[in-house]
Structure 1
Amino acid sequence: MPVRTLSFLARLIFRPRVLGTGNVPRTGPVVIAANHLSFVDSVVIALVAPRRVVFLAKAEYFTGKGLRGRLVRRLFHALGAIPVERGTYHSARASLDAAQRIINGGNAFAIYPEGTRSLDGRLYRGRAGVAWLALSTGAPVVPVGLQGTERLQPVGSRLPRPHRVTVHFGRPLEFAGRENTARERRRTTDEIMAAIRALTGQEHVTEYNAAA
């Protein structure tokens, strides 16, 4: 199914309120960094962004069985998602390398600095992979605030349900001139998370998210 058709159908379901699309560069490499509330977040971003957004997805989403498995697989293929293995240091490193290649190819790449979904609605400490990508590629980072996606598809639900969501694209953050060191990656990540929080108003948590 064409992405335009998917976008039209999805807008009927989640009635998105989309803000700040002018903040997303229409061409060139860019990192889209968002908070993470639901399985459906990547789909929402991909369907409302003003340009094609590439994201990595767990390989299991491409091997599911039954009707739901086929639907998810076709949806992710249509949106241009790239399957990756997750769960180990080597797979995490491979994911960052794949993301770097995508960005260096002039694409928009979406990432969730929290690493996994927030089950309690709070904004957890960001992991430094987002900063590594920004500093190693020189790409600007557009912070994104998602609201309502946890009700669009709550944890444990098999299919989305009608609910309005808000997607707020913030102003691009530039980190040119910073060295790609551990200290700078931490500082850069914290600034990105602060920008996301300014868009969502979420309660901030200083710990990493360990939710499954």
Structure 2
Amino acid sequence: MKVTVGGSLKLAFRPWVEGLEHIPADGPAILASNHLSFSDSFFLPAVLDRKVTFIAKAEYFNTPGVKGRLTAAFFKGVGQLPVDRSGARGAGEAAIKSGIEVLERGELFGIYPEGTRSPDGRLYRGKPGGLARVALATGAPVLPVAMIDTEKIQPPGQVMPKLMRPGIRIGKPLDFARYQGMEHDRFVLRAVTDEVMYEIMKLSGQEYVDMYATAMKRQLAEAAKAEKAEKDAAKEAAKEAAKEADRAAKDAESRTGG
């Protein structure tokens, strides 16, 4: 399945890639990437000879019906690992456990330190819980990865993807052996995460925002909600004004005898 999907993606979109020489021929490694698009988890594995496993929502694997089975087969084929995200803390622990298991098998583990897709193409603050804990618990090297222009292929609301060349830059591996055994120190976790995010920023050229993407998404949702409420209120006020003008016109007509 990976060969079929990867070959199709490379043939259709012709992604360019830099830094493939940094991917180890064997052994565990963590690929820490920025996250611009749903397709990031497909394009990165497509350009690698080795299998890379990302975390995916369990709903992608257990949706009933023919479409659900096809979706599950596709995600399994491209190396996605189901994780139940019904509880925020439980989901985080499950993802960390899954990542450690992948690395202990000597495989590649892909992770998005931002925790969610960027809402506006900028690079957001990395969450220290997942990436840093997995790196320190396993001793696996961390390779910063920058996805380029993947958000332009299928923007939100666009059904058909745009055929264009996305890019992938893979940086030199980062070694955090100096922090071994300190995976429960929040200051160390923050330092590791920030170092990785800085390298991703250099590779991607993105503007960095020192806040979590989830917080920005909440702000944008609240702003959109407030804007909608304001527009709805303006519409209602316009309707009432129109009704009042109509009533006034009718009153004037009746006083003048029609």
Counterpart for residue 199 of structure 1: 203
Q: Does the residue aligned with 1:177 lie in a helix, a strand or coil?
A: helix
Residues 1:166 and 2:167 are matched in the alignment: yes
- CA gap 1:68/1:123 in 2 versus in 1, 3 angstroms: farther
Q: Secondary structure at the match of 2:209?
A: coil
- 1:124 aligns with 124
The number of residues matched between the two structures is 211
List runs of 5+ in structure 2 lacking aligned partners.
219-258
Give the counterpart of 1:182 among 164, 174, 186. Answer: 186
Residue type matched to 1:97 in 2? K
Report SS of the residue matched to 1:77.
helix
Q: Look up the match of 2:25.
A: 26
Specify the code of the residue in structure 2 equivalent to 1:173.
Answer: L
Q: Which has the higher helix share?
A: 2
RMSD: 1.7
Alpha-carbon offset, residue 133 of structure 1: 0.8
- In the other structure, the counterpart of 1:104 is 104
1:195/1:139 CA distance change after superposition, 3 Å: same
TM-score (norm 1): 0.93
TM-superposed CA distance for 1:134, in Å, is 0.7
The 3-state SS of whatever aligns with 2:210 is coil
User: 1:141 and 2:142 equivalent?
Assistant: yes
- Relative to 1, partners in 2 of residues 1:85 and 1:142: Cα closer, same or farther, differing over 3 Å? same
Structure number with bigger Rg: 2
Aligned to 1:56, what secondary structure does the other structure show? strand
Name the CA distance, whole Å, in 2 between partners of 1:5 and 1:171.
29
Q: How far 1:74 sits from its partner (Å)?
A: 2.3
What is the TM-score of this pair, normalised by structure 2?
A: 0.77
Gaps of 5+ in 1: none
Q: What residue number does 2:236 align with?
A: none
Q: Which structure has more RCO (C-alpha within 8 Å, separation ≥ 6)?
A: 1
Q: Which residue in 1 is equivalent to 2:91?
A: 91
Partner of 1:48: 47
The code of the aligned residue for 1:183 comes to F
Q: Does 1:150 align with 2:154?
A: no
In 1, the alpha carbon distance for the partners of 2:70 and 2:107 equals 25
Alpha-carbon contact 1:13-1:161 (below 8 Å) kept? no
Q: 1:119 to 1:71 in 2, by over 3 A?
A: farther
Q: 1:160 to 1:60 in 2, by over 3 A?
A: farther
